[in-house]
Structures are given as C-alpha cells and as structure tokens.
C-alpha cells in the first residue's frame, strides 16, 4: 500500500500525539515519554497547547533520541491522530515513510490517508465502549488503550509501563488495576490484529544515566527555595504561573516549622503585576529575599518599579518565563523576545542583570544564585527562562547543593558596625566597586536610618537636584554594573577541532538544538567555535571571542536579533561581523533550522577557486 519504504529506526524517531484539549490525554502521553526513559533511552517531550482550557487542539511531541539530542527535531515519524479537527494537517505533517496511528472505530474515506505512509487503525472507541459504560471512563481509558497499543507496535516492555502506573496510583488500588487492565486491552488487540513491532522501535539502552526529568519552572522554584526566598508575590500569567505554584508546593513540603507548623515563607497572589513587584521591592528593602515570576506583559507593567530598583538600589529577583510577543502575542508559544525589554527596562538610563539558563538544572542553579546576586548588587536580577524550558519536562543532570554554602547577603551595615562608628552613607562607594552599604529598617535607635527614594540624592541619601551630585551617582551605578560582569555566570566556550575564523553565539533554550546543529554542520564541512552566553552584562570573554573570529553567528529565538543588538551596543563593534540567525514562529528552534541557516551562509562565504569549479 505504501510506495515509500517505511521508516526503520531504533531509538531515534519522533512521535506526535494530536489531541483535543481537556480530553485527559496529557497524563497518558507523559506516561509514554516516561516509559521510554525507563528503557534507558533519552526523550525530549514538548507540549504544544492553545491558550484555552477545553476543546481546542493540543499536541504532545516526543522525540526519542538515543544520542541525547534534546532540542526539537522537526518532522514527525509517527502521528497519533486523535483529533478530527486537525486531521488533515496532522496527516500532511508525517514524514514520507512514516506512520499514522488512528482510531478506526468509524471508517474513514481513503482520500483521508496518504499512499506514502503506513496507516495503523485501532478501534479505540469500540474497545473502550465495549468495556466501560461511564462516558468519562470511556474517554480517559481510551488514552491508556492507545498507550497499550503503541507499546506493542514500538516493542516496548509493558512491565516498565505497569511499574509507572503503579507509582502514579500508589495506594489507589482500584485505579491502578483498572489502568493496567486498559493498557493490556490496547496492547493485546494490537498484538492479535497488527504486525508488531513496526519499523520504529524502542530498545533498552543505558543512555539516561542519573539524569532527572523535570520542568524548568519547577526547577527554578526549587532554586528559589534553596536560595532562601521567603517572599513570593505573583500574578497568574502563562507560561509563568507554574513557577509560583511549584514554589508553593515545595514550600509546603520543606518550609514549615516541624513544631509549630508555621510557614517560613509568605506567598501573595497580587492583584496585578504592579503589586507583585511592589511587594517584592518592599520585602527586599526590608531585608527578605523576594521574587516574582511573570512573562512579557508582566514585565511591561513592572518597568516603573524596575527603574526604582535600579536607581534606589533595592534587590529584586524577577523570573521571566518568556512567550511570543508583542502585546498578548502567542501566550502559549515560546520565544526569547524580552532581551532588550529586560536589559534596559524602565525610563532613563538603566541596565539590568540577566541570567540565561539553558535547562532546568541551570534554572535551579541560577535561580538560587539570583538571590545572592540581587543582594550583593542591590538591584534587579532577571532569570530569563522561556516556555520551552519552563513548561516542558527536560532531561538534565541531577540538581546539586553544597551544604556548606551560605547565602551572600551583600553589604549590610549592622548595629554593631554603626556602634563602632563606621561612616554610613547609603550611596557611598567605600570599596571602589560601586556597591554601597545598606541598613535594614529598625537596625539602630539613632544611627543608620535613611530615606529611600526614586528621586536624585547625594551619597548620604539626602535629596539633591545638583547636576554633579546626580552624575556622580549615575557614574557609580556604571561602576557597579562593571562589577557585576565578574559576578555573573561566565560564558562557556567550546572550540571546533580545527582552528576556524567562524564562531557562533547562542543562549538559553537554543542550547540543545545548537549542540546538535554543530554535528550537522561539521558533517557539511563547516567548523565553528561556540560561545554560550549565560548572563548580561557580558564578560570580557565575549569581546575576545568576537575579536578572534571574522564572522560570528548569533542564534536566537526572536525576530529582531535582540541579543545581537545588545552585543553590538555594549561592545561597540561592527554589526556586519555579527550574522543574525533568528527563529521566531513560536515553535522551539531546531538543529535542522540552525544547520541550514548557518550552512547556507557559510556556503555563500566560501569562494570556490575557479579552476576547481570548472573542472
């Protein structure tokens, strides 16, 4: 029936589930991904969902990747088409030679299929309806039935799935056994009626190691718990809400006094983003570690306070889980589009520290570090996640914590220091690093109090509109930002095997796709040195990297090449040498996309000698 040879691949393929939002498919799909992990085979799943609760199309894509390529691949080898609304598009999206899995209860006209793919029909509804009478059960178990059928088709070990079901429904015996039953209904039907396995197979391996499977938002929230955040104020916004929700859950578990049951944290759902950042600023001013989590529209609302944090020098941590803008944009799609908005947030001359974690493990580390940096630098620290890292489970190295680590509370002048007669000027640069001392409110009866304001003031926090006094303070803020360069996570460089005059700069969630793209580019004969930027302000090694290469590609997920703009602006270099590679359709960037874009540019750059070209 197929005029193209079916794809044959072990532990390297993409399965995409097309579902209807709210049909209960998410947990079955996630179980599918986890089951493959239990085979020792890395997976990289991605939720593609609408800004809606019920009824609209949603997809879940699982990249099975023995080689550990965790970026999105592009293309679909097997489509599990459970949504009639998107059928045509879903079928069209299957790679030639790929597989279509569908519910064959209702006959479909042959025009609805393709000749170059393998079509696998399983009467899921019929099986569910003959087993269950309750409509809700019919719907929910249909998901588990297709999971069972897939396990047979892909040669998966059913025991591993049963084990997962056992963990999920521990202590709920009835649910456990009914789920296992549904799994076998699907599996047995497939084994009896279909040729199993198909060309795509899962084979046990040992490539997962001790890695963990966690969403970036949850990891960042855990970083806030470990980093000592005690105040969290937030306003619900996709894709950041799960940060605050995870922080709440983690705190409930780890932050209650065992004796009194009282909470060693305070979480407030603000009336809007203005209140959320206001609460963070108030708490930080008063010496607590505080943060908020938001996304682009929230950042826009917070900018006045961010300027206050910069100018009055009040610590704050803002986790920005970026989504596609501008305006409401695409709330459930990923982008790295707030780089400029955050780097220079607020009116007047401002600059802010940005951290760019590449995965949940770094989200955890950088979140914890953000609180040290905020208190050390007495300013806002942005943790720049995006939807791709934040809301998807990602395989990453285990989270680590050194029990000897103390929090860096920054330069705090205590009552004892004031008693000793130390000169306290709130905006006095005593160490030459641009960072002044601060006192907490209530420190001393007669010494160390000051008036915090967003207006201009002198080194002793006294109101002043003198031009020289204002400029002196603004210059010190520049010095402080220079100090930040050496405190933030440094860029990581990886050089090509052979010396090359071409380099590539990338950051954040682009990381796995970029790493994979390097392999593809090398196969095309292109050598590139890589620099992964992990923070702004840029460390001096960024300037060195630019100086060492003729052309540097800057790969990012926004239209206007914002990181490139920032690099050009901050380093004062010729923009021609920085080639933008941008991807901004709201889907995560892929290795194929990067390799093609850079490869094509490289091909254009390379002048083939005439003799060779004509011979």
CB of 387 to other proteins, least distance (A): 20
Of the residues 414, 449, 483, 495, which one makes contact with other proteins according to CB under 8 A: 449
3-state secondary structure of 329: coil
Of the residues 257, 420, 497, 574, which one makes contact with other proteins according to CB under 8 A: 257
Residue with tokens 């990886």: 494
Q: Quick check: 173 binds other proteins (CB under 8 A)?
A: no
Of the residues 452, 495, 500, 527, which one makes contact with other proteins according to CB under 8 A: 452
Nearer to other proteins, 314 or 594 (CB): 314
CB of 109 to other proteins, least distance (A): 45
Q: Quick check: 159 binds other proteins (CB under 8 A)?
A: no
Q: Quick check: 263 binds other proteins (CB under 8 A)?
A: yes
Residues 542-571 that bind other proteins (CB under 8 A): none
Buried b (16+ CB within 10 A) or exposed e, 150-165: bbbbbebebebbbebb
CB of 269 to other proteins, least distance (A): 10
Q: How many residues bind other proteins (CB under 8 A)?
A: 77
Nearer to other proteins, 278 or 508 (CB): 278
Nearer to other proteins, 419 or 482 (CB): 419
Interface segment toward other proteins; rule CB under 8 A; list 128-136, 230-238, 511-519, 567-575? 230-238
Residues 34-73 that bind other proteins (CB under 8 A): 37
Q: Quick check: 451 binds other proteins (CB under 8 A)?
A: yes
Could you tell me the sign of the dihedral formed by the alpha carbons of 274, 275, 280, 286, in that order? Answer: positive
Residues 596-615 that bind other proteins (CB under 8 A): none
Pairing of strands 266-269, 231-234: parallel
Of the residues 135, 177, 204, 254, which one makes contact with other proteins according to CB under 8 A: 254
Nearer to other proteins, 13 or 226 (CB): 226
Burial (0-12, 13-18, 19+ Cβ within 10 Å), 330: middle
Nearer to other proteins, 148 or 287 (CB): 287
Residues in contact with other proteins, shown as a per-residue x/- string from 350 to 389 under the rule CB under 8 A: ----------------------------------------
- Of the candidates 576, 563, 514, 513, which has an alpha carbon nearest to the alpha carbon of residue 535? 563
Of the residues 266, 340, 496, 573, which one makes contact with other proteins according to CB under 8 A: 266
Residues 283-312 that bind other proteins (CB under 8 A): 283-288, 290, 304-305, 308
CB of 465 to other proteins, least distance (A): 7
CB of 423 to other proteins, least distance (A): 17
* SS3 annotation, 89-156: HHHHCEEEEEEEEEECCCCCCHHHCCCCCEEEEECHHHHHHHHCCCHHHHHHHHHHHHHHHHHHHCCC
Nearer to other proteins, 363 or 531 (CB): 363
Interface segment toward other proteins; rule CB under 8 A; list 117-125, 168-176, 449-457, 588-596? 449-457
Interface segment toward other proteins; rule CB under 8 A; list 140-148, 446-454, 507-515, 527-535? 446-454
Residue with tokens 């940096």: 373
Residue with tokens 């603004």: 474
CB of 95 to other proteins, least distance (A): 31
3-state secondary structure of 502: strand
- Of the candidates 508, 248, 253, which has an alpha carbon nearest to the alpha carbon of residue 382? 508
Sheet holding 551-556, edge to edge: 492-494, 529-532, 502-506, 551-556, 578-582
- Residue 110 C-alpha from the chain's centroid: 41
Nearer to other proteins, 171 or 445 (CB): 445
How many whole angstroms separate alpha carbon 222 and alpha carbon 275?
A: 23
Q: Quick check: 108 binds other proteins (CB under 8 A)?
A: no
Neighbours of 326 (CB within 10 A): 12
Of the residues 326, 398, 525, 575, which one makes contact with other proteins according to CB under 8 A: 398
Please give the DSSP secondary-structure letter assigned to residue 397: P
Residues in contact with other proteins, shown as a per-residue x/- string from 194 to 213 under the rule CB under 8 A: --------------x-xxxx
23: which residues sit within 8 A by CB, 6+ positions away? 82, 139, 143
- Of the candidates 356, 343, 345, 344, which has an alpha carbon nearest to the alpha carbon of residue 383? 356
CB of 328 to other proteins, least distance (A): 21
Residues 399-438 that bind other proteins (CB under 8 A): 399-403, 405-407
- Of the candidates 70, 117, 111, which has an alpha carbon nearest to the alpha carbon of residue 93? 117
Nearer to other proteins, 371 or 584 (CB): 371
Q: Quick check: 460 binds other proteins (CB under 8 A)?
A: no
467: which residues sit within 8 A by CB, 6+ positions away? none
Q: Quick check: 464 binds other proteins (CB under 8 A)?
A: yes
380: which residues sit within 8 A by CB, 6+ positions away? 306, 309, 310, 315, 316, 317, 318, 345, 352, 353, 374
Residue with tokens 């938002």: 217
CB of 289 to other proteins, least distance (A): 8
């Amino acid at each position: 029936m197929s005029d193209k040879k079916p794809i044959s691949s072990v532990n390297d393929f993409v399965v995409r589930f097309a579902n209807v939002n709210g049909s209960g498919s998410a947990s079955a799909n996630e179980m599918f991904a986890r089951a493959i992990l239990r085979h020792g085979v890395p997976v990289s799943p991605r939720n593609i969902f609408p800004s809606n609760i019920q009824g609209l199309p949603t997809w879940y894509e699982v990249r099975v990747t023995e080689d550990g390529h965790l970026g999105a691949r592009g293309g679909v080898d097997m489509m599990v088409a459970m949504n009639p609304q998107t059928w045509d598009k879903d079928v069209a999206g299957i790679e030639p030679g790929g597989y279509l899995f569908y519910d064959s209860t209702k006959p479909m006209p042959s025009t609805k299929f393709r000749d170059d793919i393998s079509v696998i029909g399983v009467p899921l509804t019929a099986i569910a309806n003959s087993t269950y009478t309750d409509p809700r059960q019919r719907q929910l178990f249909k998901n588990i039935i297709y999971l069972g059928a897939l396990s047979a088709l892909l040669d998966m070990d059913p025991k591993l799935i049963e084990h997962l079901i056992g963990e999920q429904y521990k202590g709920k015996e009835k649910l456990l056994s009914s789920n296992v039953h549904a799994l076998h209904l699907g599996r047995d039907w497939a084994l009896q009626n279909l040729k199993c396995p198909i060309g795509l197979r899962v084979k046990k391996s040992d490539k997962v190691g001790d890695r963990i499977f966690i969403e970036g938002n949850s990891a960042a929230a855990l970083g806030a718990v470990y980093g000592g955040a005690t105040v969290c104020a937030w306003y619900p916004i996709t894709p950041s809400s799960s940060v605050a929700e995870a922080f709440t859950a983690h705190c409930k578990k780890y932050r209650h006094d065992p004796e009194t049951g009282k909470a060693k944290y305070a979480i407030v759902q603000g009336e809007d983003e203005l209140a959320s950042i206001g609460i963070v600023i108030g708490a930080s001013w008063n010496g607590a570690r505080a943060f908020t989590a938001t996304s682009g529209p929230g950042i826009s609302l917070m900018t006045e306070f961010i300027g206050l944090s910069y100018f009055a020098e009040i610590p704050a941590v803002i986790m920005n889980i970026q989504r596609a803008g501008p305006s409401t944009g695409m709330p459930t799609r990923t982008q790295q589009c707030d780089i400029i908005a955050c780097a220079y947030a607020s009116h007047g001359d401002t600059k802010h520290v940005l951290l760019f974690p590449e995965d949940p493990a770094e989200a955890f580390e950088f979140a914890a570090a953000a609180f040290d940096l905020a208190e050390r630098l007495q300013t806002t620290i942005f943790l720049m996640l995006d939807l791709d890292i934040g809301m998807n489970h990602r395989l990453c190295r285990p989270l680590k914590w050194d029990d000897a680590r103390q929090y860096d509370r920054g330069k705090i002048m205590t009552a004892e220091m004031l008693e000793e007669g130390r000169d306290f000027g709130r905006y006095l640069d005593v160490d030459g690093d641009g960072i002044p001392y601060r006192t907490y409110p209530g420190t001393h009866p007669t010494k160390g109090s000051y008036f915090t304001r967003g207006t201009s003031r002198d080194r002793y926090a006294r109101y002043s509109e003198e031009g020289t006094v204002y400029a002196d303070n603004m210059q010190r803020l520049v010095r402080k930002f220079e100090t930040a360069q050496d405190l933030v996570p440094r860029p990581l460089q990886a050089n090509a095997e052979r010396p090359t005059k071409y380099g590539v700069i990338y950051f954040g969630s682009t990381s796995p796709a970029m790493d994979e793209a390097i392999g593809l580019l090398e196969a095309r004969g292109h050598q590139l040195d890589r620099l992964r930027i992990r923070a702004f302000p840029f460390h001096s090694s960024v300037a060195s990297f630019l100086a060492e290469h003729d052309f540097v590609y800057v790969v990012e997920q926004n239209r206007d090449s914002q990181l490139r703009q920032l690099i050009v602006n901050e380093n004062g270099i010729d923009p021609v040498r920085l080639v933008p590679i941008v991807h901004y359709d709201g889907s995560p960037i892929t290795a194929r996309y990067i390799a093609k874009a850079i490869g094509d540019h490289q091909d254009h750059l390379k002048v083939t000698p005439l003799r060779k070209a004509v011979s």
